[in-house]
Amino acid sequence: MDSISVDGPSAGECQVHIRLCSSREPLVLGVARDETAEQLTVRAARHCRIGPVARHLFSLCDEETRLFLAGSQRVGGAVRRYTFLMRFKVADVVRLRALDPHAFDYLFHQVREAFVMGTFSNILRQKEDALGLAVTDMYRLMREMNVRREDVEKDYKSFIPRDLVKMHSFFLKSPIRKHLIKLEQGPINDVMYIKEKYVQKALEMCPTYGDETYTVQRDEAGVVRQWKLVVDPFHPTQPGLRMKTDGGENSIHICTISDICYISLRNDNRVELARKNGVPQYFRFASEAEMTSCVSLLDSYYRLMEKWTFCLSKDLQLPSQLRLKQRRCHGPVGQEFAHQKLREKRNNEPGTYLLRQHSEEYDVILVDVCQPNCEQPLTIAIDETAGGGFRCPGEEEEHASIQELLAQFSTDHLVQFKECLPPSEHGRAAEVYGRYTVVQRAQWHTSSGTTRQVAVKRLQQHLTKEHLQDFIDSVSAALQWTCDAVVQFRGVCLTQAVSLVMDWYPLGPLDSYLAENKHTLMEVDLVEAGTYLAKALWYLDEQGVTHGKLRCRNVLVSSRAENKFHVRLADPGLRLYTQNDLHWVPVEYFDQLQSVAYSSAADVWSYGTTLWEIFSYGQTPLEGEDLDMAKQRGGRLPPPSGCPRDIYRLMCDCWHHMPHNRKTPQAIMRDINQILYNVFNARQVHAYATLSNSASVDSGEGAGTPVDGTVTTLGTDNTTVSAIESVAPPMIDLLSEPFPGGADLARVMSPESVDPEGRTRDRLVSIGRHKLLIPGVPTSLGGDSAEPVTPISPLDMFEEACPSFPRVLQLNQGQVQLGDRLGVGFYGEVYKAVLTHQDGTWETVAAKRLKKKAISTAGLQDLQREIAILKDLDHENVVKMRGIVDEPELMLVMEYLPPGALSSYLKMYWDKLTTHRLLKFAKDVAKGMEYLGEKKIVHRDLAARNILVASDTHVKISDFGLAQVTGANTYYYLKTNRELPFRWYAPESIRYGKFSSLSDVWSYGITLFEMFSGGEDPQIPNCDDQKLLETLDRGVRLCCPSECPLGIYTSLMWPCWDEQAHMRPCFSDLVHECASLMREY
């Protein structure tokens, strides 16, 4: 076979053969010894005319091992054979075609080859579709190459999988001819459109095409088991990473791509995959090549779909990414993105500029620079030469660097280049914190009558008048932090003085603890302390918050055990800087110390110095050094005595003189965890966590556990501070710049994004002229001495809680006329109302609003969350939302169902209700709950009172005031005490405050009892709420209602009440069981 030889090998080079799906001849290239797989991939992409954006979807596969190469791997030194493939799946091939027709065309040939070679699974079960695909391909060849139909028909076997030809060759010719003649007479002549339909149909026939599977071992409680690890970011129910046993069909979901935090590699082919929920997963691969291939796959998906600038594993960083970072250059973003960033970040300030790769041409860098009195930035093109130099198009003079070229361009053309905006630039926060505070030890009196020690932090009395708002701003920020590496803040006390209440940590500040326990602490303890501090820094960075005071003295020791050293970062408190802070301040801020409070790059520098303190056992760095001496050193400190080389290298990376070249907080977390995992692996016991995604419970004092973390009131004497239930946001909400291909490739890689969390927001209250953000603190806090607390507009809070709420659902107050009150709940009132539409038509609706006393308490958050959840629901067995009214009060407008609540309906029409109709109601509820489970929603208040009757044979689930979105975890933990319907709750919900779809199944069983008893109260005889859990633990359950058939009780109702949640039926099983019983009754 002839080959395409583009570059013959020269001295010191070897030859590689790259098979192309779009060509019969391989591409033969000469490769230098230090050339990487990424460089070779780019050369292949350029040969196939694939552009700089789409080339990131491609990779090289080793034909011998059938494994993909990581971009950083060296390919020189030996003769190898590779296949050039689009490795990464895309969500929309139509958008890919629009983005890069050549990349799409290559995907067509790649998919066609896989189909014809018979690699599609279950092809014999899809004979008709396979034949249609083959005919489409034949017709494509006729139009693209102007080939006669008769000639194509003769070669029909080259378009059809061999297995299909063997079994059905006699019957294929006639239908092929018939369909080709029909297509030939049709109007479709667009070859790319034909290819598009071919690819779409092929991927529909084989949705697993593009998945990658790896064999791994896992240590599970001392037993090593073998699993198949499957990567598919677009799987319909388990996107991202899942695993299954050999030959098994059922799989276990590990996490989505966005849930991955970082990946640590070991020399023995072990991998630690850190997830957002704090529970890592450990795998061992059969070889280093398999480990590298899998990790490079996850890393690339993460960069393509989440954060373009971050590499999950520091061992596999791409050379191109490192070069872009050094140059402060963006990837191939479009002009629209570049201009928007300059406008948003610097308001088009003259001299501000941005570097970016050209999105259509290789080796071209574009410079967008803002000019005086110009609305649009000036765009300059720079060519990168083969020798690594730079020059302007049409000019012969070559420069060693981009900065050198821009300096010459500025001189020649009078264009200023003052400030370069780097990729992933963090904005500045605009907070000012208080001056001096006092921390006191206090007692927390809980609602259950117990007490626990807490710390109370308040502003010094003489500073209250001038700096109260500053202190309140500090408190407001700290109260929103929810991370196991950050001090646990409990609430606010408003008696006499505004005070921040936090957990008490008796082991004290880290600097003092290190000094006092120097001889008993091991090196691994110091590394683990640095890991927790890195986790805290990363968490704050993802929240868009700068700490400003990372110091050993601002870190508290949470717990110390044989195999654990847990520390937590405290709030910054005072953010006033003096000469004593120089070692924690980057050199660029020596002349403007107060600006440190607004810089995330300064936080990174401070982390490096705090890590230096940790490995110096709390010693203060170079005491007495003045500003000039610090400047002479460049701000860097010498290595602590006995400090490991890798740790000091990490410190130096945090102290880089160029802010954009410093480690990002996520990179710090990745690298120090790699040290902890790889070098100090004695800390890991490898009794790996189960894949139930169970909550990570902090064993240290002050941890909010499901058992005792539900205590909600704090204070002293007669004053308490009560926290209402609130959904804590996930530790990280990954917000990054889009993939450098601009919005186009971001859409190609990702389907429509929907926020999986129905988040609530904390309440903003006013204290005189001051504002305070309090998570779940009611207004009746202050006692006699406190000023009145006034909530802000509910709509303001709702729009913050649900920023994506579609404005088309907004209704004016005049459109909704309230009528009779239909019902009253704990927080809300429901009215019958008339909704007048914009076109003049009207309909009867139900309107839910808060009681006046509930607006300033938990009711507002419940209603906000209910709206956020309902707006995305559309199911025949779930009540439908019509819209919201926001002024003068927040009101939820829903469809009106005249028969009303099922609880009342049962009592009114009990003598007319047949078993068959009740089973239909039960099936409707199960179908609605099955739908909610697919949406990752737990209802938490499923009962007959919250089911509405639509007709004699149709019911709908309503009242989502207690519902929560679980996201990937599949469960939700109760955060605080509140009024809850315990008689409908599963044991795990009562005992641990844990809710899931399976706890909803328990509630469904109680609801069935209500249905088949005519609406009786589900009360176990001689058992009140205080004894309920004890009674359930003894195996006691509700008895079979007198008029309920025993078969329904035993096969439908009783299984819902299994003590072990995983033994309960799922709602899809209950739907089938109801349908089966309906045939019987």
Write the CB contacts of 927 (distance below 8 Å, at least 6 apart in sequence). 875, 876, 877, 1067, 1071
Q: Which residues are annotated as a binding site for ATP?
A: 848
Name the binding residues: 848
Tell me phi and psi for residue 772, to 5 degrees.
Answer: -140, 130
Q: Is the whole model's pTM more than 0.85, yes or no? A: no
Token pair, residue 375, equals 């609305």
Q: Which residue has the tokens 């907070």?
A: 431
What is residue 963's predicted lDDT score, i.e. its pLDDT? 86
Residue 441: exposed, middle, or buried by beta-carbon count in 10 A (0-12, 13-18, 19+)?
Answer: exposed
For 507, the 3-state DSSP assignment is coil
How many Cα atoms occupy the beta-carbon half-sphere of 392 within 13 Å?
Answer: 14
Closest CA to 614 of 509, 522, 510: 510
The whole-angstrom separation of Cα 728 and Cα 758 is: 10
Can the peptide bond before residue 888 be classed as cis, meaning omega within 30 degrees of 0? Answer: yes
Six token digits for residue 132: 């249609």
Q: What is the pLDDT of residue 296?
A: 96
Positions of the chain with pLDDT lower than 70, given as ranges? 1-12, 77-78, 167-171, 221, 247-248, 277-278, 424-437, 446-449, 459-467, 470-471, 474, 495-496, 574, 623-634, 678-809, 823-828, 851-860, 887, 967-969, 975-979
State residue 795's pLDDT score: 35
Task: Determine the distance from the C-alpha atom of residue 201 to the mean position of all C-alpha atoms in its chain, rounded to a whole number.
Answer: 31
Question: Cα dist. 653→319, 534, 549, 635 in Å?
Answer: 18, 14, 19, 12
Query: Which tokens belong to 451?
Result: 């007490």
Residues labelled as active-site residues: 941
Question: How many CA atoms, within 13 angstroms, populate the side-chain half-sphere of residue 1033?
Answer: 8
pLDDT of residue 579: 73
Give the pair of three-digit tokens for residue 563.
């195999």
Structural domains in the chain?
4-205 (3.10.20.90), 212-321 (2.30.29.30), 329-420 (3.30.505.10), 510-657+665-671 (1.10.510.10), 793-896 (3.30.200.20), 899-1081 (1.10.510.10)
Cα gap 880→884, rounded to integer Å: 12
CA angle 22, 24, 26 (to 5 degrees): 90
Query: Which amino acid is residue 749, in one-letter code?
Result: M
The predicted pLDDT at position 574 comes to: 66
Compute the distance between CA of residue 30 and CA of residue 46 in angstroms, rounded to an integer: 15
pLDDT of the residue at 725: 29
What DSSP string describes 225-276?
Answer: EEEEEEEETT-SSS-EEEEE-TT----EEEE-GGGEEEEEE-TTSEEEEEET
* SS3 assignment for 327-387: HCEECCCCHHHHHHHHHHHHCCCCCEEEEEECCCCCCEEEEEECCCCCCCCEEEEEEECCC
